[in-house]
Amino acid sequence: DAGVTQSPTHLIKTRGQQVTLRCSPISGHKSVSWYQQVLGQGPQFIFQYYEKEERGRGNFPDRFSARQFPNYSSELNVNALLLGDSALYLCASSLSGLVGSYNEQFFGPGTRLTVL
Amino acid sequence: DQQVKQNSPSLSVQEGRISILNCDYTNSMFDYFLWYKKYPAEGPTFLISISSIKDKNEDGRFTVFLNKSAKHLSLHIVPSQPGDSAVYFCAASDGAQKLVFGQGTRLTINP
C-alpha cells in the first residue's frame, strides 16, 4: 500500500513568484493537512481539508491557499513568494478530520521549497 | 506562543542504554499526544500516542508517560539502538483538526 506522496520533491523559485505543491493521501483517507517546517523548528499547521471542505486554518497569510479534489488529493498554493516561505512543506493524511486515537496523521516526505 | 516545548535540542545516549525525551505543554485543552520520528529527507513517522485518560502507553521498546498535573510527557526508548538516531517531535491535539508540534530533539545513539 502506497503511503502519502508529494510532488515535486524540490523546488526553487524567486521572490514574487507563485508555487503549487501537490499531495496524494493514503488510499481510503479522506483528510489532508498541510504543514510548514522551517529549519530547526517543528512543523506548523497551515490547513486541513476533509471531504473537500476546509476544516481548519492556521495562522498564515492569505497568500496561502489550498483545495482538495474529489479523489481526496490536494494542492497547496502560495502566491507572491517571500524569502521566509523557504521551508519543507509537509502533507499528512488521516481517515477523518479529527485528530485522535485510531486517526493518526501520516506524513509524506515533503516538498523542499527554496525562495531566492 | 510555544504551546508545546521540547527544551533539549539534542541528546546523546550509548547503545543499549535508555533514551528519555521530554516534552512540556501549556494548553490544558490538549487531550491527545503523539511522538513522531524524523530522518533526514523523510517526513515524520508516527511512533506512539497517548490519550489524556491514560498515564502510560507501551509499544515494544517505546513507552510514553503522561503527567497531566505537570503538563509533561516523556518518551522512553529501551534499549536504544543505532537506528533510533533521528529527530523526535512531540505533538499535541485538542481533538480538533490540527497537531501542535514541539521544536524537536535530535537523538544520537553512540556505539
Condensed to tens digits (0 to 9), the pLDDT of residues A77-113 reads 999 999 999 999 999 999 877 766 667 889 999 999 9
- pLDDT > 70? residue A67: yes
> What does the CA dihedral B77, B56, B1, B107 come to, rounded to 10 degrees?
0
d(CA A36, CA A47): 10
Check A40 against B49: CB less than 8 A apart. no
With an 8 Å Cβ cutoff, are A105 and B99 in contact? yes
Mean of pLDDT values over B57-69: 97
Q: Which of residues 47-86 of B touch A (CB under 8 A)?
A: 49, 51
Q: How many CB atoms lie within 10 A of CB B55?
A: 12
Confidence of residue A54 (pLDDT cuts 50, 70, 90): very high
pLDDT in tens, B64-78: 999 999 999 999 999
Q: For residue A6, what are the β-bridge partners?
A: A23
Candidate from B34, B98, B101 with C-beta closest to A56: B98
Nearest to B8 by CA among B100, B79, B108, B110: B108
Q: Round the average pLDDT of chain A to a whole number and report it.
A: 93
Q: How many Å apart are CA A67 and CA A49, to the nearest integer?
A: 7
pLDDT at B110 over 70: yes
Q: How many CA atoms lie within 13 A of A70 on its CB side?
A: 0
pLDDT value, residue B96: 75
CB contact under 8 A, B93 and A108: no
More reliable by pLDDT, A97 or A31: A31
Residues of B in contact with A92 (CB under 8 A): 43, 99
Q: How far is residue A16 CA from its own chain's centroid?
A: 20
Identify all chain B residues contacting A41, using CB atoms and an 8 Å cutoff: 103-104
**How large is the C-alpha radius of gyration of chain A?**
13
Residue A27, pLDDT score: 94
